[in-house]
Amino acid sequence: MSKREPRKRAHDSTNEAAAPGGNDSEPPQQQIMPIINKRYMVEKFIINTVKKVVAVIIHIDFRKPPQEVRTNNYKSIENHEQGAKELMYYVHYEELDRRNDEWITLDKILVNEVVVEPVIKVPTKAPVEDLHKEIVVGPPVIKPSGALTRSQRRTLEEYSHLKTDLNDLDATTARLEREHEERTKVKNIPQITIGAHEILAWYYSPFPPDCENLDIYMCEYCLLYTPHHERFKQHIDTCKVRQPPGNEIYRKDHLSVYEVDGSGQKLYCQCLCLLSKLFMDHKTLYFDVDDFMFYVLCETDEHGAHIVGYFSREVESANNLACIMVFPPFQKKGYGKLLIQFSYELSRREGYIGMPEKPLSDLGKVSYRSYWWWRLMKLFHIHQGHTVTATFLSNESGIAVDDIVSTLITMRMCRQYKEPEFIPGEWYVRIHRKIVDHCVMCGYGKPPRLLLDRTKVRWAPAQTRPEFERQQQRTAAAMTSRRASKSQNVTPLVTPLATPPIEQKPVFQKTPTPRRR
């Protein structure tokens, strides 16, 4: 005889109708979804380890997940493009640069973890002796931690990759900066393959819509691109171009520089601008390349000239450089300073003192500061113990006065005087031996890794800049003092009237009577 089972109460928690996960009276917990412009803890893979970092959600969209293993098979790529989409989040990591922004899935966002709000420290005014001590020690010692004085922040911005705060800019520049960030905040190209290098994109670039969210394959010789690997292979087999479409104006060892005219080779220069925008945050020139000359640096071998970097400059402009770029696989090899030396050599041969177009990017500012210090330190050793003007240093070095002042003002080596024996508005530089020794100790003035050989530059301007300006002045003076032509000196004909003119009575003038004597 079986035992009688105990009677279950209606409110018993062991009711068989209840779900195995818990009481059916309690509604299931709904998953918290991330919100745009909110900070979350995110798991990121950094140097073979998974770390938790703070990130901001920038954009949310249904997208195809990225391929775990990249393949060169066109069919597999096509199948991946036709796959199902899922909700993905574009995040910006607060402690990293914008070039590290990426799309991630929901499982990498830790929505339940608490994010500590950032502490905003108000900078206090430092004593004069402490400020002098911090500045004299040099920028390599200053670390961007805690509150910074204005001098410390300016030093870090000049010599490090510290991003300029929008609050320190004027209203117009800050507004343009916010509009630029809003327009280019989401990367549209994951990766580009050029030559033997597969490079992850850093920033947004305005490629055509059919290339968005796809890997790009670009020919390193003619710079034509496509998102399809099979078409790229066919192009490589048939492409006969082996160097940039321009004149070779410099060759030394395995390096060559080609001068490419933007008006004559428009397609090549436009593709070059699209390629450089993938690794440059601030660049607005993409398609209007007619007024620019491009100088492409290449590594040459038996296969051809492989593009390394380039710089461009606007024709008939006071700037000797508009944009400079060394692509990521070739950075930290001295190519950037070699291009800077080349730009100053061209302006020297044209007979004017050039300067780069402002504002400079973070990497460009670091390279230019190092080059300017190297040129100025060579003059400091020659004129040590004297006080010279910034104009004198500009004529000797080929560097503009504004660039010299912005370089030396950080070390407090130049100033203006109000005394009558000094030239009003002129900057004076005191070259003291102790200051020069201190600059050497701080590492200023190190020579570039690659030095430009001026004898190898095969380039001469058709007309120097002073000759061009004198010709412009003569043309303007001739236009203002031009004598009228013969047709303009002839009395114009009378315009015929539709109605006969009204006959006017002659007016007789009364002759004065002579005086009697």
Catalogue the active-site residues: 357
Alpha carbon distances (Å) from 124 to 2, 127, 132, 149, 154:
86, 10, 15, 7, 16
475 three-state secondary structure? helix
193 vs 497: CA distance, rounded Å: 78
Radius of gyration of the chain, Cα coordinates, nearest whole angstrom? 35
CA-CA-CA-CA dihedral for 184, 187, 191, 194, to nearest 10: -10
Check the CA dihedral 144-147-150-151 and report its sign.
negative
- Laid out side by side, the sheet with 225-226 consists of 197-200, 191-194, 216-218, 225-226
58 vs 476: CA distance, rounded Å: 54
200 vs 223: CA distance, rounded Å: 17
292 vs 274: CA distance, rounded Å: 15
Which segments within 22-82 are labelled E, that is strand? Answer: 39-46, 49-63
DSSP state of 8: P
457 vs 345: CA distance, rounded Å: 9
- Do residues 380 and 407 lie in contact, with contact meaning Cβ atoms separated by under 8 Å? no
464 vs 458: CA distance, rounded Å: 16
- Do residues 372 and 410 lie in contact, with contact meaning Cβ atoms separated by under 8 Å? no
Q: Which residues contact 186 (CB under 8 A, 6 or more apart)?
A: 58, 59, 90, 101, 204
Which segments within 187-274 are labelled E, that is strand? Answer: 191-194, 197-200, 216-218, 225-226, 247-252, 255-261
Q: Which residues contact 353 (CB under 8 A, 6 or more apart)?
A: 347, 394, 395, 398, 399, 400
